[in-house]
Structure 1
Amino acid sequence: MIGLMSGTSHDAIDAGAVDLTLDGESLRLTPLGLISRAYDDELRAALTAALPPAATTLADVCRLDTRIGQAFAAAATEADRELCGGRAELVASHGQTVFHWVDEGQVRGTLQIGQAAWIAEATGLPVVADFRPRDVAAGGQGAPLVSLVDRMWLRGRPGTPVALNLGGIANITAPDGTAFDTGPANALIDAAVRAWTPQGRERGLTYDRDGGIAARGTVHEGLLARLLAEPYYALPAPKTTGKELFHADYLRRVLAGYEDLAPEDVVATLTRLTAVTVADAVRAAKASEVVASGGGIRNPTLMAAVRAELGPGVPVRGSDELGLASAAKEAYAFAVLGFLTAHGLPGTVATSTGARHPSVLGSITPGRAGRWPEGLLGGAQAPTRLVVDGH
Structure 2
Amino acid sequence: MSNSKSLKIHNKSDKPDNIVIRDNNVIERCISIENSLPKFMKDYFIYLKGSVAVSTRLAYLVDIQFFCSYLVEMQELTSAKDIKDISLEEFNKIKARDVNLFLGDYCTRYYKQTSKNTLIFENNNRALARKKSSISTLFKFMYRNEQLDNNITDGFNPIKLPKPQPDAIKRLEIDEVAKMLDSVENGDGLTEKEKVYWKKTKLRDKAILALFVTYGLRLNELRELNISSFNFSRGEFKIYRKRGKEVLMPINHTCELVVKDYIYNERPQSELLNDEYKDALFLSLQNKRLTAKAIRQLVKKYTSISMDTSRDNGYSPHKLRATAATSLIQNGFSIYDVQNLLDHDNVTTTQLYAAHKKHVKRDIVNNFEWIDDESDLDSLDLLNEEIINLSKDN
Please tell me the TM-score bracket, short chain as reference. under 0.3
Between structures 1 and 2, the one with greater helix share:
2
Larger radius of gyration: 2
The higher-RCO structure (CA 8 Å, 6+ apart) is 1
